[in-house]
Chain A
Amino acid sequence: MSAASMIPAVSIPEFVKRHSFIELDARARAQSLMDSGSWRELVGPFDRIESPWLPKQGIAPQFDDGCVVLKGTIADKPAVVIALEGGFQAGSMGEVSGAKMTAALDLATKDSENGKQTAAVLLLETGGVRLQEANLGLAAIAELLASLLALRQHAPIITVIAGTVGCFGGMSLAAGLSSYVVMTMEARLGLNGAEVIEQESGIEEFDSSDRALIWAVYGGEQRVAMGVADELVTDDASKVAAAVREFVKAGRPSIHRSEQVDLYRQRIASIDTSKQIDPVSLRKLWNPKRGAQ
């Protein structure tokens, strides 16, 4: 089975009629995942809690700081959906958006501890820390990761990376700590973005204009084939929602990916770094079951 057939073939009429998830903004994406009429927004744009740091640097802020938090149900189970708006400052994490995310997760943890298991869904379209907010953005991500670790002891955390920004920098760690990761073929997931690597190590090391290379390394298809993401979906809001519902129903996995330290250490140790590994070999090495398909 070739890698391209990991997602079921879609007929052209079906593709044209689909309701694109990528084309939705963060709020509409979040709404599309929740049970109809079940949700309410926490700290919405009319609360006007903006970044206090961006205007000081001559940058227009956004009324919700690019972070949308909805509380409601998914598949009739309590859930919170946190969506980052990739169109605003590349979905970067600032003081306010970070505080919103962390507070929402902590509320879910509190509810879960009190017997109301509350799943979290993260819609990550983000380049990571908002550099204009420097240490506050870094602190926000540290707090976020701590909150994710607390919640995942009680309830599943599902990250959706749909594109087209992708999920990079410190926020890729949030994806890494999640119970499940859902990606589209358009989405990318990685710690250092291609342009950062090119800038630091030179174009011989990584050519950030080579789209085929970029997607072969970071793309949703590769990430799912490697087993660092769980499901590849087409860009269709109903299919993304169906995948999220299944993972909410599945509950916490018996072991999280990021708990398997020895397994990944062994895999890293087994790589021959004297020559450049290619994406297909990496799939086979990282996920013998799926990569060999």
Chain B
Amino acid sequence: MEKLEFDYPSANRTVSKKAHVGVVGSGDMEVLMQPAEKGIAHVSVVTSVNGFGKSWQAVLDRFFAKHDGAVRIDINDAGATPGSVMLRLEQAMEAIDQ
């Protein structure tokens, strides 16, 4: 198991809602997404699979490039693939933006 932390200080779009999606089942993950102060968007990942820090960084960079939300994200991961990670993040953002 590995704990990873990522900061996105340039994410500026204000969000006002929070969302929880997903299940920590094999090949899946859960996301808590909630509003954060501008400039301190932060992602905490707990993953059961070690050694994929760069993949997480790449997926999260892409997510924040697209959505730019000032959010706190907490993830519990049970081996979701990068594609599944992005889908879960998008699903949480969609729930917030609705």
Interface residues of A (CB under 8 A from B): 25, 44-46, 48, 50, 55, 58-63, 85, 87-89
Contact = CB atoms under 8 A, between A and B. Distances in A.
Given A58-B1, A87-B25, A46 B47 contact: no
Contacts of A60: 1, 24, 29, 46-48, 76-78
Interface residues of B, number: 18
Contacts of A87: 23-25, 28
A50 B78 CA distance: 15
A46 B32 contact: yes
Contact of B24 (A44, A46, A62): A62
Contacts, number: 48
Contacts of B34: 46
Contacts of A62: 23-24, 30, 76
Nearest to B22: A25
Contacts of B29: 60
Interface of B: 1, 18, 20, 23-25, 28-30, 32, 34, 46-48, 74, 76-78
**Interface of chain B, main secondary structure:** strand
Contact of A46 (B18, B76, B77): B18
Contacts of B32: 45-46, 48, 63
Nearest to B34: A46
A58 B48 contact: yes
Nearest to B23: A87
B46 A45 contact: no
A62 B75 CA distance: 9
A87 B46 CA distance: 17
A45 B31 CA distance: 10
A87 B34 CA distance: 24
